[in-house]
Structure 1
């Protein structure tokens, strides 16, 4: 009664008063316990621990009861809502501890769900999830690992305090160690204690010998649609099988939440990549519509060239085509004319390097009868012949100073006179010039007029050399094979793989013209409808040791280049056989869909053109 009077007169809450009453009762029992080995103090100490965790059962109604009655009720009730009475204190304490763990798990799940719903960067989200698991669930060395691009190795994605040499490059191969086995089998693994399993690599974190003996290791797979693409693992300071199983289930739930989030991110990324791919395909389709029929090639430099032709063709702007010898400057000039508004009028081509100064002036402007020795009759010039159409001046850098002045007048005023005539004529032509010379240097050296340079360089078009558009070599080779096969009446079925490798590795100083001559030579020597590498000229089969870019040629014979070429051929053939279905092609090659997508992107395979 004295304890009730002492505590009931205070401002304490009812359940705190109940605790105080029970503790007073415990202290009274302890003071009257005279047996040294009595278990009552220990028993009531355990009772006090349980009571402190479940104060809600002490209500105002209990204040009328004696402390002994209160203590006995707590002794057999863990204070869980809807929980039955327990037979002893141990079961009540175990039940209370289980409820406490469930409450912590619930809070951890709620926080992880909130982290995933915020949608920050994936790496930051995984780090926050790791921190949440360690704080709320009392686990240590929580680690998230994700599958590499090729799908054969696990790489560290998120953890706290890894080893210094583990940052950035640590990983496990499929089937290696405990974590690698989880990736391979797709099933959770429990190692208790850690040090007893020889498979455990202890590669990411530093664990003491005590931790290896006292802690267990739990690893669960992160799985989406039956495909394992990561693992979640943690150390737990217990050897109790039930607790370890509960921990594995909890980590499995968290792994499922991570998988759902990662799968959503992956789906969005794939949708974005698909949209980008469709965008590229639409652009390629549009560029294909505007691609001149006389030009061959689908490489990036050629697509840029088609865009330039499309932009400049409708106007009458003067164009300067620049590029090495044999790149097809005349074909580009023809393509510009055929896609312009002057396409119904003639296109006249003049090779300025083939004529001397006097002949070139007469060739361009025409002459009157008797204008010079040998002028037995009047002749129209090329400018007059191209009236209403296009005049293509090849090798304009070879013009003499006198011809440059007269051509400048044609460009500026659209006027000229025939040789030997004083009658001024009007030129209604579009001029397209071409050169393989460095006109800027010629201007600096005084060999080319600066004002003429600015007049013809209104819209420069640069043609890439063949070595810069290797993706087009096979397409060009097939075109020339069909051309000369028909001309020579020698049916050619295919070009052998070694022959294709030879074409791809050569540096082509003569560009497309040299490739054309090479294919003509090979068609002439081919047998049984197949072109082999020994059918090519010797200069193609043997690398040029004096080539200034010899390093580029040497790289063509490197192991990585040969391997990439073989992979490109195998994947291209598989895509052809599967009709462009990457999943089917991956199954045929024995690799994952993720791997074939990575290879197609990394090797620059235009899978749409393989259909």
Structure 2
């Protein structure tokens, strides 16, 4: 007798355990609910059971799973399932326990329709399925009186209430997952549509491949369209990776010379002797290996456009030769004496501060004035952050076309890219997108697929080591060099004050930091010292300060330390 009592006590616990295993083992909601009813049938010896749930998009109730009867017949109404009684339980949130279902008007027709030959009395249980909000549905169970003996229903009601709570938690979780999945699919569809519609902000021939709708790029587009139809020499200024070659090609396409050749030369990639032959050509036998006459780039570009990239890197002797061609429009081939006249449109580009180079006698002033006719300054990517999502989607679209994939960006990934510093500008962004897309294992490039979120982006270290001391800026050239003050001897035992910086250095001095309290200044200095000690690697500095990478990222932003790409 004691063993029977212990068994009766253990059965509900075993049933709860089995039901929790079923609900947590599959994502198929219909199968999980059907298995729950089968377990209840085993432990409660129930005749029929059903789970009714609300429609996630409305208030309608629908039978989701049944046991001991046909789901199709139950849904069609042929079995007379008492939806009115269940709806009352769902509406009030109060369980219904009917010892003899035949005595309840809401159940009489259903019980009479389903009774078999034994004609035993049937009890009906219906408990709401809910968690913390309004009920999501109801769980109903029918039990026959074994031998005509009425049961004590408190234990069954308590057990069914616990089961309904487990079912409610699972159903609520599935609804939330389905809603999140729907939002994600909608977001991906919207981003995919945006990627298909990525176009340049200015739909002008020649600018189709230049993506950007920021105010800074709008000024560049306007300058290009204004200057391209003329014959004026154009000097493109800007950091490496800002798209100077694409702008040069756009200038050629928008000019009257678009039907002629567009010839480009990277002056920094060739030695002086080779560069001279490349630009001016050479006669047969002019040097070892010159087995035939060869036209230079100036001749090939005759009537068209010649683009000289990295013009600030050419040597002083070659600068004089180039100046003559630009002034007179004529030259001689290497080893030749015949003067050749050409008609070209010159577009040059550099990332150097030519004004400082002229001041240091590293670049000829007369060549500088010949080149600097119409300067166009291309903004770095950090000054046009609104263009980063468009550029990122453009590069991802091109990656998909080249590799046969269908990747999209999550909104969080695009927001994270937009907050990065990108010292390598558009070229670095393109590499970042390609790297993230290549290593992405799913269909969506998420925030955690980006190198900066895994502390594997080393551009911050490179920026700290190779920070340009002379970025190209709009020149402010005085008419004459300012007089230098006579040096004053320092008094004995007192160190002389450092000399003031030259005028050209004014453009590269960072703006003064905002006024900080003593406590803020101390914390900011500790951050800077830790970052410098760790080579500007965020993860190492975080470990040194006892912080997490996320915490140190917030601290850097709080104090205005320009490491926004981390």
TM-score normalised by the chain length of structure 2: 0.46
Quick check: which one's helix share is greater?
Answer: 1
TM-score normalised by the chain length of structure 1: 0.43
- In our comparison, the structure showing a higher alpha carbon Rg is 1
Higher relative contact order structure (alpha carbons within 8 Å, sequence separation ≥ 6): 2
